[in-house]
Amino acid sequence: MKKITVYTMNYCPYCVAAKKLLQSKGLAFEEVLVAEDDNATWKRLEKETGYKTMPQIFVGEKFVGGYTELAKLDSSGELDQLVA
């Protein structure tokens, strides 16, 4: 199974939803909490993903997007294939 990494921030309902979705599927993941004032990490993630929002979800080395993209992958069945 590929490693799942979820970058999150405090007070983020989409971060909570993403973690709940992964947990409901029994998928283990590493959560990386990014502080609002951690400019270096925010800039690195934005450069790597093009996203300025959280959560930012990686399966292995592949960036899959945020919660909305994760939910779409799950409903289409692609998430199961991606993590296998």
Query: pLDDT over 70 for what percent of the chain?
Result: 100
Q: What is the pLDDT at residue 2? A: 93
CATH number of the domain at 34, please: 3.40.30.10
Model pLDDT for residues 4-35, shown as the tens digit of each residue:
999 999 999 999 999 999 999 999 999 999 99
Pairwise pLDDT comparison (67 vs 84), residue with the higher score = 67
Domain of 45 in residue numbering reads as: 4-83
Q: Is pLDDT of 1 > 90? A: no
CA 8 to chain centre: 7
Distance separating alpha carbons of residues 79 and 84, to the nearest angstrom: 9
- Name the one residue in this structure whose structure tokens are 């990686």: 58
Q: What is the pLDDT at residue 56? A: 98
Q: How many domains does the chain have?
A: 1
Model pLDDT for residues 54-66, shown as the tens digit of each residue:
999 999 999 999 9
Tokens of 45: 């993630």
